[in-house]
Amino acid sequence: MYELKSLSERCRYVECPSRIGVIEIGNGEVCFIDSGNDRSTAKKALKLIEERKLKLKLIFNTHSHADHIGGNKFLSERTCCEIYAPGVEAAMTRYTYLEPALLYGGYPMPALRGKFMIAEPSQAMTLEHEKLPPGIKSISLPGHTPEMTGYIVDGSIAYIGDAIAPASTLEKYGIFYLYDVSDYLKSLDTLMSLGCSVYLPSHSAPLYDIEEIVNYNRQKISEIAEKITEICDTGLSFDEILAEAFNYYGITITPEQYALIGSTLRSYLSYLMDQGRVSTVIENNMLKWKKS
Ligand SMILES: [Zn+2]
């Protein structure tokens, strides 16, 4: 844990719970892809590069989840590095209270206001192509979040953030967080078309062939969509569907899971409505979803 591992001559990453990409950009300088969970992780990552006489120049965030932007503020204060994030992810990195507000759908309850959900805000600027150092390209991979973005170095090393759920997550939780089901599936297609030699997801070891895990993600999404459609059957309220889903997947409800899985369930219901597989009815002033 917390060691620098190599992917190519100039591409490395910090082995830690939410991996930080480290790319050499010339003149003894590096850019980070994401910044880890918090300032303690960022401090360890910075030490690793400083031991090698490298200087942090830039951070490129893949998306605005707290475990990817948690070290931004510390690193920018310590090194004066610039921070870039794609589109709305930059706004959410500057205004981090928006994350639990998005998940919960209103002013978040107290359990959702800790550092697990709200990172320290940092002055992320909107990512523009001309800000990327030579040889680094951004690739749009939305779905896990509205504008999740991956970074490809020299056409062969892909830092892909949370665009693919690791097998361990799929096996442990059965249902996993995502924002837009349709975009997530399209991003899996995009990943399959990249033809890179190495893919680094934030929460698993580097992958040299992604076909198996991409297919596993597709299969799980299809099963989850089918299960939710089946649960809706003749018409249930959101909380009834959520309780059924929690029971089926063996998840104990907590405020955090209510927000994460609840938000994911809402996204699936919208996806299934778009596909004409479920529809809404109003009964006794209650919105219910039923199988079409
Ligand atoms: Zn994430």
The confidence score (pLDDT) of residue 173 equals 84
Q: How far is the CA of 181 from the centre of ligand 1 (A)?
A: 14
Domain span(s) for CATH 3.60.15.10 in the chain = 3-217
Parts of the chain with a pLDDT under 70: none
Q: How far is the CA of 162 from the centre of ligand 1 (A)?
A: 5
Q: How far is the CA of 278 from the centre of ligand 1 (A)?
A: 27
Q: What is the pTM of this model?
A: 0.96
What are the two backbone dihedrals, phi and then psi, of residue 163, each rounded to the nearest 5 degrees? -70, -20
CATH of 223-291, one of 3.20.20.80, 1.10.10.10, 1.20.1260.10, 3.40.50.10300: 1.10.10.10
Q: How far is the CA of 195 from the centre of ligand 1 (A)?
A: 23
Q: How far is the CA of 275 from the centre of ligand 1 (A)?
A: 26
Q: How far is the CA of 284 from the centre of ligand 1 (A)?
A: 37
The confidence score (pLDDT) of residue 52 equals 96
In 10 A of CB 87, how many CB atoms? 15
| C-alpha to C-alpha distance for 155 and 158, rounded to whole angstroms | 8
The confidence score (pLDDT) of residue 150 equals 98
Question: Do the beta carbons of residue 221 and residue 187 sit within 8 Å?
Answer: no
Q: How far is the CA of 178 from the centre of ligand 1 (A)?
A: 8
Q: How far is the CA of 164 from the centre of ligand 1 (A)?
A: 10
CATH architecture of 3-217: 4-Layer Sandwich (3.60)
| C-alpha to C-alpha distance for 109 and 97, rounded to whole angstroms | 12
Domain span(s) for CATH 1.10.10.10 in the chain = 223-291
Q: How far is the CA of 65 from the centre of ligand 1 (A)?
A: 5
Question: Do the beta carbons of residue 105 and residue 55 sit within 8 Å?
Answer: no
Q: How far is the CA of 20 from the centre of ligand 1 (A)?
A: 13
Q: How far is the CA of 177 from the centre of ligand 1 (A)?
A: 8
Q: How far is the CA of 36 from the centre of ligand 1 (A)?
A: 11
- What one-letter code names the amino acid at 160? I
Q: How far is the CA of 283 from the centre of ligand 1 (A)?
A: 36
The confidence score (pLDDT) of residue 115 equals 82
Place of tokens 């479920």: 278
| C-alpha to C-alpha distance for 50 and 158, rounded to whole angstroms | 24
